[in-house]
Amino acid sequence: MRDSSSRIVITGVGLTAPNGNSLSEFRANLLAGVAHISEIDVRYMGKLPAGVCNFDPLKYQKRKDIRVGTRAGSIGVYCAREALADAGVAPEALKKDRTGVYIGITEHGNVETENEIYNISQFKYDTKFWNHYHNPRTVANNPAGEVSLHLGSTGPAYTLGAACAAGNVGLIHASQMLRLGEVDFAICGGVSESVRTFGIFAGFKSQNALGSHPTDINKSSRPFDVSRNGIVISEGGCFYTLERLEDALARGAKIYAEISGYCINSDATDYVLPNPERQVECVRAAIAKAGLQPRDIHIVNSHATATPMGDIQECEALRAVFGDDCTETSINNTKSYIGHCMGAAGALELAGNLPSFDDLTVHPTINIDQLDPKCALPNLVINTPRKVAKVDTILNNSFGMLGINSTLIVKRYFA
């Protein structure tokens, strides 16, 4: 076992979001206030707003791989290859058996199962028309497995089911595996293909939690705005390459940030409704693990999904943690641009803030025409980027159903 205090660093980022297919494009749009929400045809439901990615899957995959595999697998392969390229690691140079692939998912298999049921509905529900790829497409490890197949990596490759906290969980788990010495190199993050399953849309609609806007589709997702009316479902992916600091330094890697602190806990109170008390405990525990005080956190990226109650509850939690002495703490949100990328949300939202270490700018949350007074947090960055004197720490919150909470803190790398 390695020294459990090993320092873990981020050395590469690969992503696709509804408004960008690279970190630079994503960041430029976050600073320019460019949201990108599309209207898509959802089976049985009609046209609905959703966040859809437009990366080119053929950049790294063959047509047959795309046909046989899943959308989550394609997103995963794209993000993995982009992250490796960003890290300056050629796929053939990977130590195959010492590389771990740890991918957070909110759900997987709904898309493929719905497609097959629809397919056999065209044949009077005769199951002899059921596709023989159904099982490899729907096993829970599919997105990680497709990455492993593509890269030829033979180390552990699996997913972590953690609802919408999953993106953070992927990074946290990878950090732990590196510290344990289970692997020497990790590809980790989160992925979502949820825009292709009507069940997710129908489920949120039945909860009265599906977001829309009467005139401007790009305002469909508007956390903290008084008129917010729910979640915009999105797809996306964001993978990081993580390494132990000594390994990264030995190969002269670029270092984006260091993993500083984290916490995963559970509400244990409700299937759906969040519990601000447990959120507070999660954020405080992560800050304590990082050896910091709340006032030391410079950016807080909120989870807020634009549901009427959820946003208020997270604001309650953030108010409880970040008191009057947190004058240098800015708070923002990314879902206002891209909707809720589900399993990818935490990883994407962290990525969108990483460049703040260099440009000392906090991207805003957009689409706030009228701030809900109950969401009026001090230092909430609204509609316009904010220049700040110092960014040494970023805290990312991601919460999910069944009461799973995750907080991840990264800090500027100092030798």
Torsion from C-alpha of 84, 338, 260, 167, nearest 10 degrees: -70
Letter string b/e over residues 25-44, b meaning 16 or more CB atoms within 10 A of that residue's CB: ebbebbbebebbbbebebee
* Binder of another protein out of 4, 5, 46, 132 (CB under 8 A): 132
Least distance (Å) between residue 70 CB and another protein: 15
Catalytic residue check, 238: no
* Binder of another protein out of 128, 268, 291, 373 (CB under 8 A): 128
Q: Is 124 in the site for another protein (CB under 8 A)?
A: no
Closest CA to 233 of 37, 74, 383: 37
* Binder of another protein out of 33, 113, 133, 227 (CB under 8 A): 133
Burial bucket for residue 215 (CB in 10 Å: 0-12, 13-18, 19+): exposed
Alpha carbon distances (Å) from 314 to 277, 283, 303, 376, 391: 10, 11, 8, 12, 23
User: Which range touches another protein (CB under 8 A), out of 63-71, 238-246, 319-327, 382-390?
Assistant: 63-71
Q: Is 131 in the site for another protein (CB under 8 A)?
A: yes
Strands 257-266, 404-411: pairing is: antiparallel
Q: Say how far apart CA 276 and CA 224 lie, in whole Å.
A: 16
Residue type, 412: R
How many residues form the binding site for another protein (CB under 8 A)? Answer: 11
Least distance (Å) between residue 71 CB and another protein: 17
Q: Are 251 and 402 in contact (CB under 8 A)?
A: no
Q: Is 390 in the site for another protein (CB under 8 A)?
A: no
Least distance (Å) between residue 29 CB and another protein: 32
340, 341, 363, 375: which is the annotated catalytic residue?
Answer: 340
Torsion from C-alpha of 88, 344, 376, 369, nearest 10 degrees: 100
53, 79, 164, 282: which is the annotated catalytic residue?
Answer: 164
* Binder of another protein out of 1, 4, 5, 64 (CB under 8 A): 64
Strand-pairing partners, residue 382, are: 365
Q: Say how far apart CA 78 and CA 149 lie, in whole Å.
A: 13
Q: Say how far apart CA 178 and CA 243 lie, in whole Å.
A: 7
User: Which range touches another protein (CB under 8 A), out of 80-88, 131-139, 176-184, 355-363?
Assistant: 131-139
Q: Is 123 in the site for another protein (CB under 8 A)?
A: yes
User: Which range touches another protein (CB under 8 A), out of 125-133, 143-151, 183-191, 300-308?
Assistant: 125-133
Q: In the complex with another protein, which residue's Cβ is closer, 2 or 62? A: 62
Catalytic residue check, 150: no
Task: Count how many residues are written for the chain.
Answer: 415
Strands 157-161, 99-105: pairing is: parallel
Q: Are 241 and 10 in contact (CB under 8 A)?
A: yes
Q: Say how far apart CA 16 and CA 132 lie, in whole Å.
A: 29
**Per-residue tokens: 258:** 């260091």
303, 315, 363, 375: which is the annotated catalytic residue?
Answer: 303
Q: In the complex with another protein, which residue's Cβ is closer, 63 or 390? A: 63
User: Which range touches another protein (CB under 8 A), out of 61-69, 193-201, 238-246, 362-370?
Assistant: 61-69
Least distance (Å) between residue 354 CB and another protein: 36
Q: In the complex with another protein, which residue's Cβ is closer, 44 or 123? A: 123
Least distance (Å) between residue 59 CB and another protein: 14
For tokens 């602190």, what's the residue? 261
Least distance (Å) between residue 122 CB and another protein: 9
Least distance (Å) between residue 389 CB and another protein: 53
User: Which range touches another protein (CB under 8 A), out of 37-45, 126-134, 227-235, 325-333?
Assistant: 126-134
Torsion from C-alpha of 85, 91, 93, 95, nearest 10 degrees: 120
Catalytic residue check, 303: yes
**Per-residue tokens: 297:** 């956190």
User: Which range touches another protein (CB under 8 A), out of 13-21, 58-66, 160-168, 231-239?
Assistant: 58-66
Site residues (CB under 8 A) for another protein, limited to 274-333: none
Q: In the complex with another protein, which residue's Cβ is closer, 67 or 390? A: 67
Give the rounded distance of the alpha carbon of 256 from its chain centre: 17
Q: Is 129 in the site for another protein (CB under 8 A)?
A: yes
Which residue numbers are catalytic?
A: 164, 303, 340
Binding site for another protein (CB under 8 A): 62-64, 67-68, 123, 128-129, 131-133
